Amino acid sequence: MRNLLTLLIFTVTFASTASSLLRIPAANVTLEHLDPTLPPALTTKTPPKCSVLVLHHVFANTAGEPPAVSNYTHPPECPFPWPRVVLELTISASDVQKDRIAAVWLDGAELLRTATPVPMAPGTFWTVQKDVTRYTALFRRLCGSSGITTTGIVSMMLENSNATLPGVFAANVTLHFYRGPLSGERFGYVVHPTAKDLYRRPADIILPVSQDNGECGAGFWFRVENDTDIPAAAVAIPRNTQRAVLEIFASYHAHDESWYANPLRSAYDGGGSFANGGFRQIYATVDGQFAGGHIPFPVIYPGSINPYFWSPVAAIGAFNLPTYDLDLTPFLSYLLDGQPHEIGLGVRDSQPYWLLAGNLHLWVDEWSDLVSAGVVEIKAPPLKVNRHAEWRNSDGGSEINAEGLVRFSGWVSSSEGNMTTTVRQKVKFRSQVEVQNRGAVSQVEMTNKERTSIAVLKSGQQTISRVQVFVEAPLQLQTSRVKAMGGALFEKARVSHQLQEVVNLNENGQALEVSVLMDKQEAEGSLLKRDGQSQPVWGSGSSRSSYKYRDRNSCYLRSLTAVEGIVKADLMSASCASTEMAEA
């Protein structure tokens, strides 16, 4: 009741435009926004040898414009090889603005997909660091040349508009190159969660699967409008390719911006088009044939549910949107003829619209110009999806259960021998969306469990390597709405979200690495919206987050509490001893 009284006062006080209302006095909020989903990629122990500012751009009115582009020349004092390369994106917002999606490409291959926070005060800033060691092939062979130096093209998209809200984003993209051993790391390589074990040895060649797939293109995402829209790029791969992994970048927009909360009908929510249920699957095709997929992790954008939840601590994965890997090695026999083949990207059950791009990572046989390959088994029955919906007017419920098992197996005979790669993936998914009290109360529950294993056998018997990835992502979301005076809407919400990822790597029968990422986030708060406006006029929120990453050598732990835009507690530890005690 007290909240309702407060909101009445607010409706009266803040009767002007949304832009002025989002503004919180700068002294009262933490200006630096954070997303600690992953441990920091830049180590403090060993500083990078070279740091190069590769792009600086101010994004003001850039909706519908091509990406900002700059020429990149590699610093001669940092020659290949590098034990680690880190991309750092620093952005500051001049004023209040909506959240936007941005991406960075090098020579047409996407390096980072990110969401900006909702800047609520002038001077809001944040930094995204990503381990980009897996893209070594791109930094090593830049595709253009001017005189004796080779140059690459760095580009960045951030479609902003400063027409209604004044904020412009000033962005810097910096690359950090390390040389020499990194202290405390094994294999001469970093087992950072973004350097998943599929990329433990970076690829030799990376080919973009995107809009502008010209070899030195600026790069650009594909726009996917719906279920049947499957854009493709024609890609010709070297005939000595012995391993291929497709990495897919994705973000969702408009009617699918919060797909994880969509009901299985469109009449709900004022006849809106937020429909198709809370299930999506991102997948790839090779010459039209299904080649594997993943249910996306539902990253909650900084403007979603309640922007005050995600200020200044972003939702899990928001600053570095997860990418989805498909090992395409079993399909190599279709691709090794030297001709271009169509690699397509799609989203099952999608609504307008998704932005997708892919990078095809290729490892070649340096000792021969030609390898031979064959398919052993391609068993990919479509996911079994059960949909159930019962609605009466605005109330009701939808439930979607999905389950599936795929198996792709193929051999490649190269100078290393005859290797059979078998990819197995098991998925179990459940989504429930319920709406009651004439649309006033809604409840969303989702869980996705995915187990993927990639095993490589030599001469059909000896296991050379096995990578297992187990991902679990439960999400719960409750919202209740009350109509207030003057058509305003008072909304209370609560979110609980987790990302758990366990990676096991075995080589020659020995366990090489086990890593566990366990992130949890809880947020609750309220919002006041004026009728017909998507921007809230008032809001409040608090969040508690904990991030834990552990592998055989290290443990990283961070826990954060944020209340009303201010970080109240921020604990960081390079040892998990304290929590182990707490858990025991």
Ligand X SMILES: *[C@@H]1O[C@H](CO)[C@@H](O)[C@H](O)[C@H]1NC(C)=O
d(CA 194, CA 247): 12
Q: Does 147 contact ligand X by CB under 6 A?
A: no
For residue 459, the minimal CB distance to ligand X (Å) is 7
Nearer to ligand X, 70 or 476 (CB): 70
User: Quick one: which of 158, 137, 156 has its CA closest to 70?
Assistant: 156
Site string for ligand X, 449-478 (x = CB under 6 A): -----------x------------------
**Is the bond preceding 312 in cis, omega lying within 30 degrees of 0?**
yes
d(CA 542, CA 527): 12
User: Would you state the structure tokens that stand for residue 438, as one six-digit string?
Assistant: 């004439």
Nearer to ligand X, 350 or 442 (CB): 350
For residue 457, the minimal CB distance to ligand X (Å) is 8
For residue 508, the minimal CB distance to ligand X (Å) is 19
Nearer to ligand X, 32 or 472 (CB): 32
Q: Does 43 contact ligand X by CB under 6 A?
A: no
Rounded to the nearest 5°, which phi and psi values hold at 44? -95, -20
- Which residue type, as a one-letter code, is found at position 443? Q
Residues numbered 519-578 forming contacts with ligand X, rule: CB under 6 A:
none
Among 50, 143, 170, 385, binds ligand X (CB under 6 A): 170
Among 56, 239, 492, 550, binds ligand X (CB under 6 A): 56
Nearer to ligand X, 30 or 447 (CB): 30
For residue 147, the minimal CB distance to ligand X (Å) is 9
For residue 388, the minimal CB distance to ligand X (Å) is 23
Which residues, at least 6 apart from 472, have a Cβ–Cβ distance to it below 8 Å?
Answer: 447, 448, 449, 450, 498, 500, 501
Nearer to ligand X, 156 or 495 (CB): 156
Site string for ligand X, 338-377 (x = CB under 6 A): ----------------------------------x-x---
For residue 311, the minimal CB distance to ligand X (Å) is 14
Q: Does 161 contact ligand X by CB under 6 A?
A: no
Nearer to ligand X, 288 or 374 (CB): 374
User: Quick one: which of 157, 282, 278, 280 has its CA closest to 231?
Assistant: 282
Number of residues that bind ligand X (CB under 6 A): 31
Calculate the dihedral angle through the C-alpha atoms of 561, 567, 571, 574, rounding to the nearest 10 degrees: 110
Pairing of strands 125-131, 32-33: parallel
CA 102 and chain centroid, separation: 11
Stretch of 289-297, 317-325, 410-418, 422-430 contacting ligand X, by CB under 6 A: 410-418
Phi-psi region for residue 31, left (φ > 0), alpha (ψ -120 to 50) or beta?
alpha
User: Quick one: which of 514, 582, 504 has its CA closest to 546?
Assistant: 582
For residue 442, the minimal CB distance to ligand X (Å) is 26
Site string for ligand X, 63-92 (x = CB under 6 A): ------xxx------------------xxx
Pairing of strands 85-93, 232-235: unpaired
The neighbour count for residue 102, using CB atoms within 10 Å, is 23
d(CA 574, CA 584): 19
Residues numbered 210-269 forming contacts with ligand X, rule: CB under 6 A:
225-226, 228-229
Q: Does 421 contact ligand X by CB under 6 A?
A: no
Rounded to the nearest 5°, which phi and psi values hold at 199? -115, 25
Residue 300 DSSP one-character state: P
Burial (0-12, 13-18, 19+ Cβ within 10 Å), 225: middle
Nearer to ligand X, 247 or 365 (CB): 365
Nearer to ligand X, 27 or 584 (CB): 27
CA 123 and chain centroid, separation: 25
Nearer to ligand X, 195 or 412 (CB): 412
Q: Which residues bind ligand X (CB under 6 A)?
A: 25, 27-28, 53, 56, 60-61, 69-71, 90-92, 146, 162-163, 166, 168, 170, 172, 225-226, 228-229, 372, 374, 411, 413, 418, 420, 460
